[in-house]
A and B are shown apart, each in its own frame.
Chain A
Amino acid sequence: MTGAEGAAGAVTRAGAEGALSTGTLIVGAGQAGSQLALSLRQGGYESPVLLVGDEPHLPYQRPPLSKAYLAGDVEPDRLLLRGESAYQRIDVQVLTGDPVVTVDPDAGVARTAAGRTIVFDHLALTLGGRPRELSVPGMVTDTGFRVQGIHYLRSLDDARGLRERLADARRVVVIGGGFIGLEFAAGARKAGAEVTVVEAAGRLMGRAVPEEVSEFYLGAHERRGTRVLLGTGLSGIRSSDGKVTGVELADGGMLDADLVLVGVGLVPETDLAMEAGLACEGGIIVDERSATSHPRVVAAGDCTVVHRTDGPPVRHESVNNAVEQAKAAAATILGEPAPERVEPWFWSDQYDLKLQMVGRPGPGDELQIEGDLAEESFVLVHRVGDRVTAVLTVNSPRRFMAARRDLQSFAATLA
């Protein structure tokens, strides 16, 4: 996963000593960090670029972790966003397995856990996020250890652990009916487990899709044998000998479980930024050019919240957002104008259902469904007046591609 062992050149592993000096230090080796390095080079940036990550791996794709990887369809080295040779080709240094623990943007100095000092001109924070922790009684044993069988899903190591557990899990409870929870639930059903999804809100994927789509997915999961409990809170975790045995519901109900997956959202990783004095509020605050409150620092990806000139703050947790913000961040470092805004899009694969959405939906949009929900293939169009604002498709990839192109060209006419 870390590339060729002992290879010299682009990748430095934890343990080496000495101060490093770089033009741009990118802290966080995920989708945004990897893209930012590439975009800097594509934009003609000539100074050294150093990408530092806390995981032992080169930047890899996270979306498959809750989809193909769980099903055993993908091996870890296939998850890499770019191989070692790709970083060598663009002359980007990657330092894995050594988290940056402090940064001083004024002085242009960072320090890592292994005690390295890194001197930089520009700093890019692409720190991602961590799963929101579940805080109910019974998560921890009397001796202070997390009860076995309770899992989160964010990193490759999380996914590895889950994949092992899933092999012999009989009764799976998924806490949270968002994308991660539902994608995992689908994988667990396919693996033959009994699955119950417990969602506190009144519908599935409530932050991302309109009610009609939540309804459709509720039916689709139930038809495939998953039980879904909406509007249901938790009151605790039950365990025996340090292993989970069940989940207690707020209404007094009880679900047996030998595997619990918690997918109740993401907490933007802001600690490093806050300690460095950057403005943060539910994420590192950036503008549309990925600039932060410090002139030397840009930020991109899941760790950010965008304060726009024309609306309320927004957070998009998606690959596409990480990529686009990274491109804007690179342009800002280069002193170039921001690239053209791309219509936001995301996808989710659950069972054989491919959900794709593009655009900027609003609460007051008129919705129109085309196609047949019973056939599990349809298109939902959002409009304001006669203008299409967003399009969501299920198992209609051609319509999605066309919608993305149309929305993009319309956006270009406004630019």
Chain B
Amino acid sequence: MAEINFWDAETDDLILTADIRRNDSVMEVAVRAGVEGIIAECGGSMSCGTCHVYAAPEESALFEEKDSSEDEMLAEIENCAANSRLSCQMILVQAEGTANVRVPAAP
């Protein structure tokens, strides 16, 4: 079992820590645990862009890689940065470890 820390991107406060299993998406874990900044209106079908998080490059080895349609969605998102991800597409590929994502303030 791996774990994931959700940090508030504005204040750098830890929002919460949750367990994450292989094949879970960061978005699923966030909504299950109740991370308010991750809205996930479309439920993870990559239709809405409301599950935007920041993940440092060293985190990416834990997750499936970004594909081109994720980049397309991200390109138009407010406060998009080089380390932006849609958390619904961040599927955990490792069974162990600790991941960290930063959650932007709700638009």
Contact = CB atoms under 8 A, between A and B. Distances in A.
B32 A63 contact: no
Interface stretch (A102-110, A257-265, A398-406): A398-406
16 contacts: A38-B36, A61-B43, A64-B45, A67-B45, A81-B31, A83-B31, A86-B32, A319-B43, A345-B48, A347-B47, A347-B48, A349-B45, A354-B47, A397-B73, A398-B72, A405-B76
Q: Give me the 6 closest cross-chain CB pairs, A-B, nearest first.
A: A86-B34, A83-B32, A401-B76, A398-B72, A347-B47, A61-B43
Interface string A77-89: 0111111011101
Interface of A: 38, 42, 61, 63-64, 67-68, 78-83, 85-87, 89-90, 319-320, 323, 345, 347, 349, 354, 356, 397-398, 401-402, 405
B61 interface: no
A363 B72 CA distance: 30
Contacts of B81: none
B10 interface: no
Contact residues of B: prevailing secondary structure: loop
A155 to B, nearest CB: 16
B104 interface: no
Contacts of B49: 401
Contacts of A320: 41
Contacts of B76: 398, 401-402, 405
A38 to B, nearest CB: 7
Contacts of B45: 63-64, 67-68, 347, 349
B41 A323 contact: yes
A78 B43 CA distance: 9
A381 B72 CA distance: 19
B36 A85 contact: no
B33 to A, nearest CB: 6
B49 to A, nearest CB: 6
Interface residues of B, number: 22
Contact residues of A: prevailing secondary structure: helix
Contacts of A398: 72-73, 75-76
Contact of A63 (B28, B31, B43, B72): B43
B20 to A, nearest CB: 13
Given A78-B28, A397-B72, 14 more contacts: A82-B34, A83-B31, A83-B33, A85-B32, A87-B34, A89-B16, A349-B47, A354-B47, A356-B47, A397-B47, A398-B75, A401-B49, A401-B73, A405-B76
B78 interface: yes
Contacts, number: 68
A42 B42 contact: no
B93 interface: no
Given A63-B45, A405-B78, A397 B34 contact: no
Contacts of B77: 401
Nearest to B70: A397
Contacts of A63: 42-43, 45
Interface in B17-48: 28, 31-34, 36, 41-43, 45-48
A78 B48 CA distance: 18
A398 B70 CA distance: 9
A354 B69 CA distance: 11
B107 to A, nearest CB: 9
Contacts of B32: 80, 82-83, 85-86
A375 B46 CA distance: 21
Contacts of A42: 36
A405 B48 CA distance: 11
Contact of A319 (B33, B34, B42, B72): B42
A89 B24 CA distance: 21
Nearest to A396: B72
Interface string B56-88: 000000000000010011011110000000000
A398 B46 CA distance: 11
A42 B35 CA distance: 12
Q: Which of A63, A67, A79, A90 has the most CB of B within 10 A?
A: A63
A123 to B, nearest CB: 24
Given A397-B69, A398-B76, A401-B77, A347 B33 contact: no
A347 B47 CA distance: 7
Nearest to A354: B47
Contact of A85 (B34, B69, B75, B78): B34
A108 B73 CA distance: 46
